[in-house]
Structure 1
Amino acid sequence: MNWGFPPPPGVKSPVVNVRNYTSPFWRIALSTPNRRCLVPVTEFQEWSVEPDPVTGKKTKHWFAVPSRPIFAFAGVWRPVGDGAAYAFLTCGYDGDPAGHVVGAIHPKAMPVILHEEDFDRWLQPQLQDALPLACAFPSQLLSVG
């Protein structure tokens, strides 16, 4: 399985993040429960928004869930040629992004991390039951390195 849906006409890069849940581009993948998936990860990386004042380069920051060596993003997939492609959902922050451990570094959005008890809910129900899971994972459950 490859990361990134084939892009729409006029776009060169694969589409790797689901940001606009109402976009027709994602309609079938999101509304079809068997097209939703779990994307297992051990950590994820975000770039700082502002460059380092000394080097002038942006800094990589790695995030993990210390209580879970493997956790999961909410994802979607689709058949592509002889294989399949996937993307994962991202979300904004409740209130001020600077108040969230990821938002303080990358205020635009973060991956939707699912709690283990929500895996079945993401995979099984109708979209209106699953989409409320697309929210920022609690800061206190994340670490940054």
Structure 2
Amino acid sequence: MIKKIDITNSQFAEEVLSVQLPSYQVEAELIDFYDIPPLKDTVSMLQRCGEMFYGCYVDGELGGVISIKIEVGIIDIHRLMVHPKHFRKGIAGRLLEFIEGCGEGDETLIVSTGSKNTPAIYFYEKSGFVKTGEMKVMEGLLITSFEKERK
């Protein structure tokens, strides 16, 4: 079941963080870069980020989370994370499909991930996203950007 998460509620923010930290730790290992910002987030940082959060619950437990910001014509996916114990259960795909159903129907979805995160890159390409560029954020960290048109 997917439902909106009230990130301003500290209990829910803690629950999101309990998915985010292990999920991004796996990404850090994949890209061999351990200074990624999501690993430094705190409950209060999540509560102030201005993103809308949605969670996928598996048997009452939060298994995955997606967060977005919607602007005119754009749905910006800021986070898509699955707790490692729930990998390969289709949670990321369900969350992405849910977000694709949001908005007015003609927005462009955008997302980015570490360029060495081959599972995420494969996932986005398989989901119809097209690579739009690569950017060096800092020494040792390249980010690949994607977009997908919704009609």
- TM-score, with structure 2 as normaliser: 0.26
Structure number with greater CO (CA < 8 Å, separation at least 6) is 1
Indicate the structure with greater helix content.
2
Higher Cα radius of gyration = 1
- TM-score, with structure 1 as normaliser: 0.27
